[in-house]
Structure 1
Amino acid sequence: MPAAYSGKHPNYDSKDPLTATRFFDGVALAAETAGLKGQDKEIVKNALSYLDSQTAQKWGLLKGGHDPYDFKRWRKLVMQILPKSSRHDLGSMAHMEDICCDTKKRPIGRDEKAAYYEFALGFKAEADLLLESGIIANGDLIVKFLGGLKPSFRDTLNKCLSCQGPLEGAEEAPHDKEDPYTLDIVISTATAMVDVAAVGPFGAVASTEEDAEYL
């Protein structure tokens, strides 16, 4: 990878957080070109050396920015502490907003299996890309997902999640009171509830969301 003094390395402008994505993409490309696949310690250390001292000190405190080094995880956490305007890729976020648009106007009930699956599958596909890029936080996506559900469905889902408790080993989700679950757990729990509701308490298809509350 280029040396910090060479002037030929990726640059990040702390006055313009929008340059963060370009910086990390440049670091990843430089590491790949140098044949450093899997050598996270060297990649992260080089990336930190390209930053001004104040930024390097701050970012280096995040998980993955020190031993044990993990470039991918570190990049995600850095992107999450930047201002929202710098984290959101306009194209990807536009796709997500399109998916959520109709459900904001008409939220989905637990008994609407077809509508739910169309929403959940599309949402999950786009969310995976956004999380992979590290440009939006897990908790922000959960808020968007829950916003597409009817209040009664959302409340019941929250109760189910509370009973489960945070998933052990769910590294991608912050383990705190504000954001204790991964998006995958939230969606899989909601999907299971929809599948059960579609069958009904006595083996018949549930005709209303209220019927599903027996389960």
Structure 2
Amino acid sequence: MMSNLFSIFDPSTNIFNLSLNWLSTFIGIMFLPLSYWFIPNRHYVLWNFIINKLHNEFKTLLGINSFNGSTFIFISLFSFILFNNFLGLFPYIFTSTSHLTISLSISLTLWLSFMIYGWINNTQHMFIHLIPQGTPSILMPFMVLIETISNIIRPGTLAVRLTANMIAGHLLLTLLSSSSNNLNNYLLILLIFIQILLLTLESAVAIIQSYVISILSTLYSSEIN
């Protein structure tokens, strides 16, 4: 019995008192068709096409001063979040990206690595970012304070954006499904149709959120060079 509505997102799956919730972050590879490993094939060509498009876009955002292969960090981030978002749409699979434990760990680690590298290697460049060009002298202390706060809250906004979007769709699906017990056949058919539409929307959100997180991480990385 649920103690509250959000308890559906609590980690609770276990076998012999061994928690199996976070294993969902590693079983995405099991959902790949076996033919994916035979080259060439349609699955490989499609995924390779997506990766190449992301690589070109990330390379453009990072600029000419980026290290070779740095785009693969963000491609891996996109792939990891995409797999976990989609896995959460399957029944009885724990949605790891709906918890700040996962999303904040990813965003905070990336942000800290960017900040440490930037302040050690490009200290003057990092100070320049604190004051936008053309700022009047009297407003400079306030702009430094505002830019510092906006920089500090970046990992939190990334994590909360992903978590909130994953929770919102799942919560709406749960609320609608819990109201199906007392409906007649016509309303039940309508409810099923609405659930299918919401599931389609959730699939789109799973793709969009993984893309947004990877793009924003790339933009934050590009500011330190």
Smaller-chain TM-score bracket? 0.3 to 0.5
More helix by share: 2
Give TM-score, length-normalised by structure 1: 0.33
Task: Kindly indicate whether structure 1 or structure 2 has the higher relative contact order, using CA contacts under 8 Å at least 6 residues apart.
Answer: 2
